[in-house]
Amino acid sequence: MYEFSVPMPLELKYIDDIIAINNNFSNSKITSFYFALPIQASDRSSFEQIRTENEIPNFEFVMPLIKYAKKNKFEFIYLLNSVAGFSNIQEVHEEQKKALDILMDKLRATGSNKVRVTNFQVVSYLKKYHPDFQIYMSTSCEYTQIAQFKNMMKLFPFIKEFIPSYEINKDFHLLKNLRKEFSDTEIELIADEGCIMGCPFRKEHALTQRADLHQKNFSLMKMKNLSISLYLKNVMI
């Protein structure tokens, strides 16, 4: 069966719509939702990659949605997929740790234990202080070679899943070898995203969306025609 993950619906009726869609198909189903707090949220951790603006004030707003989704057998993955890591300024560093710890506790309260991460400082911190969480690596790592995946898994063998760069999601020879090399690791393919194929600014796009932790002000690069990303999980090539 083909499994898809999609952005978290922000109203219960849309979760019900997806349940109805799933009931009409047997070979393909939406099985997981992903989400990150937006730029305005008061309790975001600073490790979210900011891609949208909306009126969600805090995590408490989405808690009933997450619980409802999980009650209906959907997986939930929180996105900590910013390329930025911890600050070198001690005061800011401590603020980041505190905010991240609080967010992890809120995720636990919903019964969720899956996070998608890009920065390896954050990976190491989560492994040490929140070992009950499963860590999935983000496509924002932009890995395009088997050697990169091998070295990542050698250093962090506890990683449960990774997503190759969108740039190689049609390189079926490479994908077959990845599946063969990492038979015990879930591999997810990104089906669509905001950047065009061959975009020369892929990493710069992520870097321009960052938080100014000193003044609590945030800068957001406006993106037009941002596609909803769909992910195809556990594809057996």
103-140 per-position pLDDT tens digit? 999 999 999 999 999 999 999 999 999 999 999 999 88
Distance CA 68, CA 134 (A): 21
* HSE-up of residue 94 (Cα within 13 Å, Cβ side): 2
For residue 51, the model assigns a pLDDT of: 66
Residues 203/83, Cβ–Cβ less than 8 Å: yes
Sign of CA dihedral 6, 9, 15, 20: negative
Q: What is the mean pLDDT of residues 143-165?
A: 94
For residue 230, the model assigns a pLDDT of: 39
The 10s digit of each residue's pLDDT in 15-37 is 999 999 999 998 999 999 999 99
The strand pairing partners of 217, in sequence order, are: 212
Answer yes or no: is pLDDT of 192 > 90: no
For residue 223, the model assigns a pLDDT of: 33
Residue 22 phi, psi (nearest 5):
-60, -35
The 10s digit of each residue's pLDDT in 212-236 is 443 344 333 333 333 333 334 444 3
Residues 188/161, Cβ–Cβ less than 8 Å: yes
> Residue 40's pLDDT band (boundaries 50, 70, 90)?
confident
Residues 189/229, Cβ–Cβ less than 8 Å: no
